[in-house]
Structure 1
């Protein structure tokens, strides 16, 4: 289809359900019901695609509910990711599937239905073929998800058990709807998706994370808004827009929230954020939570917190490496997902209960290996302090006896603190934090803490992250948000309250605790660990960061353009706390 063709909105008639029998690449046929009506509690009707086995019986349901378009092919909506994934794994979508029904961040029906699952993909309110007010991840959208689960659990082809699975958006909404405890919800698989709306995704350490947000809203959401007749997306089955009948521009604008504006209007973790943050203690169904070490800023913290906080008696944590869109589709991980659902949706006694509760990819400069564990953080962790010395720019096992300070331009390259070369191979896996004494020439100070590693020849250890090249880990804190939540904080895991803004007095030192996101890294003998402290986003040359924090309304004031100072030694002992793991 040419660009000229895409520029002309195609006509779209009333939405009607279409039924087709499809022969899958594996041989068995499946029933494909397109645009099935799904009623929700306030009378609105959402639209879903339903894929089910072409045989008699009642089957468990595997569901995703979101706004990326149930009729938008992966390759059409996310072409760069599609090309990268096919480059990394050229046989991934040519074995056992025709690829016709592949959608971004959701399961492939052709891979799942032959194994006795019903796959349902729902356009959330205000997106795709589903009318209504577009307000991503809002309480109303999550209630719709609840209602869709209950609908699916009572259909004649359903065994009454619904499982949820999907990446990112489709993961956060799982956490949220599971906390509502729908009666027919039986298990969830949130894959690389945040939990805490404020801390995990949009206000890292109190700093607005706009780089992803401001691009995501028009590029991935508005393009798929229900009634958008100018969408570039076309349903490959019909050639029509995937967004239903076109609506006037003024109506489209009135049918959606001011997404970016809402974040700017809510700098603190107020009621608006709290009603969008699920309480994991209300989650009781079996869960398999999968995070990505290379996902600081969106796709790691929530998976760990969800696992730790859920009240589920049967819960597992898997943390992998690689790209954001890679692991979910790899055969070994798909087999894991199916075994989990076979156990908790079909009731098969397949030994999944005996699976290790924690499975981690242990990264090194030379690759990663999978390792089974029993808990997180690891019980055998040796919490190890490395003290900052401003005079020598070193990280040392013993605190410096002499007080010193180092200053840097808030908009400059910051300052590095380095360990000596490690004398033996050293593993660091788990939570990381830094207790720092800081001062600013202004009334505030944004801290960007970057955990880095270097080989003996000076080359830097860089990992393939969820979306881009990435260092071992990162952390963020706005100094005026330094007050902790004492009930949730631990020495290795500071949790900030974000309930008040407490300006700094220029030139006056204060102690702050910086949360650096969990990591896993094996440093060979001779390698060094470096803590880089900056007043702006860390980026590799030629690799613009995706999770940026540079919105002018949030960081454009003079308070973020002054001189920052790190104080060390004596009564102002600044230190990095590391989770060192001894060999078994």
Structure 2
């Protein structure tokens, strides 16, 4: 049996480190034997590793995890039928070499390590690779190489493209999470400094320079999606390894696993997408995907004919009105054969100047099926906003502490305060429940007084009592109005998931309106009858790189094209629910 271990999420001031730490919680009874080993790679790095298994340690199928979080960085644990190999990636923990933000050298180390592990006396030649967050990213970035002996993979909350999915989504630097991760990696490398320096006195300089250089390269020197970032993303799959992808409705890295699933399924590789929780935690009463992980590895590594490949390719736990309620066990189950789910439709909801009657913001606009007959303009000040309200995916990493805090101070996650300085567009109360699952987009015609201003959009579920529950977010720097059409998703001729062109910035001229297509990260929520759907345009999250405050003006009404494209499942008729 393979289960996810407990995670120790390291707190930054308003966010947590995006990684799983802590010693494995052994899933099986009996003594386990652990042996420390070192791996010499073709890049010249000496990697620290440890292999454990039921005593006595002998040849078995071996599960491998690559981690930047030192000797206690494993996020999975194994039972007696498997051995488990934890490898500290270059420039972290007690491993030599310089940290390269999971770039080409780390990727070659992955290939070399798997080739080495395949022929060790404790391996029977069958390997599986598992990963959570940074560990999963390491695998995704390495798939273009031939990876020896790998029979299966389980990836939880990894980025398909590190730039687009986590560190610079929408061209807006996600600074605090990035710094938190780098600080955790560096801190844990410091913890193991005595081991590293006693082994190689010169390694300290290499480690420090690697971490500092990585911080500069990822944070400041590469603001656009250039070659540096392309080397730190999926570049093809040379292996066709059966892969179980796991993520959460509110996870901080919600996009990558969906995109990876689409890619693998399109090329015919056995793949499943399990949306049950990752950094954002799992709903009360669920197992965080443990049973499915067991079945997946048993099928593809051990060869057990358990029928897992015949189960729905997409299995989701869907929110039912709010994040806190979801984690408390209030959710729906929804299955499908592909992503987006078969039969998904996107309903355009126009941004309207008609007052919604919610007093959500001074402008209090509406979401309507038909656009206003005339055009008008509304402005808002793009100041830095409270992350607990406008950044539900990043803040979700706080988990139980945040949930307890919002129980005491509910306004922390209610959009009412932030909406006072932004623009809101709210639908009429729904006449029947509507389940929204899938990617979406906010098309908006906007001008700004800045040359590179973040456009920040939050989609919320507004309850009959007026409380506003953020469900997903979209962000886009005004320097990137373009999309890559061949990589974008269209439905009935409408753009429903833009693939932003972040390699070619075009700074905005102050006061000149342009069309923008803001990608919304996948939403999975049932808006109940009597609830309303709201989109808020507000200032960026305080967890992003600070920008100069700006005045943004949105054009709405006939001919403006400003609208929300919201995905719904086949049995939901959003237009009928609003008429």
Alpha-carbon offset, residue 303 of structure 1: 0.4
Matched, 1:132 2:123: no
Within a 5 Å distance, the mapping from 1:84-103 to structure 2 comes to: 103=73
Identify the residue that residue 260 of structure 1 maps to in structure 2.
Answer: 215
Q: Distance in 2 between matches of 1:508 and 1:394?
A: 24
Q: Is the 8 A contact 1:135 1:141 kept in 2?
A: yes
2:429 corresponds to which of 421, 430, 443: 421
How far off its partner does 1:155 sit?
1.5
- The aligned residue for residue 415 of structure 2 is none
Q: Partner residue of 1:18?
A: none
Alpha-carbon distance in structure 2 between the residues aligned to 1:332 and 1:570: 46
- The answer to whether 1:224 aligns with 2:196 is no
Structure 1 residues 291 and 506: alpha-carbon distance in aligned structure 2, compared to 1, 3 A threshold: same
Native 8 Å contact 2:159 2:166 kept in 1: yes
Pick the aligned partner of 2:462 from 454, 459, 465.
454
Paired residues for 1:135-174 under 5 Å: 135-174=100-139
Quote the residue 1:62 is aligned against: 63
Give 1:208 deviation, angstroms: 0.9
Secondary structure of 2:70's counterpart equals: coil
Does the C-alpha gap of structure 1 residues 400 and 515 become closer, same or farther in structure 2, counting only changes over 3 Å? same
1:107 maps onto 2:76 in alignment: yes
Q: Name the CA distance, whole Å, in 2 between partners of 1:577 and 1:514.
A: 10
Match of 2:229 in 1: 273
In structure 2, the residue matched to 1:505 is: 509
Distance in 1, matches of 2:283 and 2:47, equals 30
Match of 1:378 in 2: 341
Distance of 2:27 and 2:238 partners within structure 1: 40
- What's the CA shift string for 1:82-108, capped at 9, x where partnerless? xxxxxxxxxxxxxxxxxxxxx45x112
CA positional deviation for 1:331: 4.4
Return the alpha-carbon distance in structure 1 between the equivalents of residues 450 and 151 of structure 2: 52
Alignment of 1:341-356 (within 5 A): 341-356=297-312
Q: Give the corresponding residue for 1:81.
A: none
2: CA distance between counterparts of 1:473 and 1:341?
32
In the alignment, the residues of structure 2 paired with residue 276 and residue 345 of structure 1 have an alpha-carbon distance, to the nearest angstrom, of 28
Change (3 A) 1:157 1:448: same
3-state secondary structure, aligned to 1:428: strand
- Determine the C-alpha separation between the residues in 2 that align with 1:188 and 1:241: 31
1:496 to 482, 500, 503: 500
Structure 2, unaligned runs of 5 or more: 1-24, 356-364, 385-420, 490-494, 573-579
Q: Post-superposition shift, 1:203?
A: 1.1
* Equivalent residue pairs, number: 488
| Closer/same/farther in 2, CA of residues 60 and 265 from structure 1, 3 Å limit | same
Call closer, same or farther: CA 1:484–1:26 in 2, change over 3 Å.
Answer: closer
Deviation at 1:368, TM superposition (A): 1.1
What is residue 477 of structure 1 aligned with on the other side?
476
TM-score, normalized by length of structure 1?
A: 0.78
Q: Is the contact between residue 461 and residue 534 of structure 2 (CA under 8 Å) also seen in structure 1?
A: yes
Structure-2 separation of matches of 1:362 and 1:457? 22
Q: Say whether residues 1:567 and 2:532 are aligned partners.
A: no
Which whole-Å deviations, capped at 9, do the CAs of 1:267-319 have from their partners, x for residues lacking one? 11111111111224545110001111102xx4210000011012352111111
- Give structure 1 stretches of 5+ with no counterpart: 1-22, 73-102, 235-239, 462-470, 538-544
CA contact (8 A) 1:283 1:312 kept: no
Deviation at 1:113, TM superposition (A): 3.1
User: Partner of 2:468: helix, strand, or coil?
Assistant: coil
Query: Residues 142-162 of structure 1, C-alpha deviation per residue, up to 9 Å, x if partnerless?
Result: 111111111111122322121
Distance 2:532 2:350 in 1: 15
CA contact (8 A) 1:328 1:334 kept: no
1:442 matched to 2:398? The reply is no
Q: Indicate if the aligned counterparts of 1:445 and 1:535 stay in contact, CA closer than 8 A.
A: no
- Asked whether the 8 Å contact 2:429–2:530 carries over to 1, the reply is yes
Q: Report deviation, 1:423.
A: 0.7
Q: Secondary structure at the match of 2:289?
A: helix
Instruction: Report the CA distance shift for 1:319/1:49 in structure 2 as closer, same or farther (over 3 A).
Output: same
What is the Cα deviation at residue 63 of structure 1? 0.7
Equivalence for 2:320 = 364
1:411 to 377, 383, 387: 383
CA distance in 1, matches of 2:48, 2:39: 6
Is 1:313 equivalent to 2:313 in the alignment? no
Report the CA distance shift for 1:120/1:326 in structure 2 as closer, same or farther (over 3 A): farther
Q: Describe the SS at the equivalent of 1:472.
A: strand
| Aligned counterparts of 2:98 and 2:530: Cα–Cα separation in 1 | 57
Task: Give the TM-score normalised by the residue count of structure 2.
Answer: 0.79
1:302 aligned partner: 256
The separation in 1 between residues aligned to 2:295 and 2:196, in whole angstroms, is 33
**Which of residues 30, 33, 38 is equivalent to 2:32?**
30
Hey, what's the Cα distance between the residues in 1 that align with 2:549 and 2:131? Answer: 40
Distance 1:305 1:194 in 2: 9
1:341/1:291 Cα in 2 relative to 1: closer, same or farther (>3 Å)? same
Q: Secondary structure at the match of 1:269?
A: coil
2:539 is equivalent to residue 535 of structure 1: yes
CA RMSD of aligned residues (A): 2.6
Distance across 1 between alignment mates of 2:457 and 2:510: 21
Distance 2:108 2:221 in 1: 24
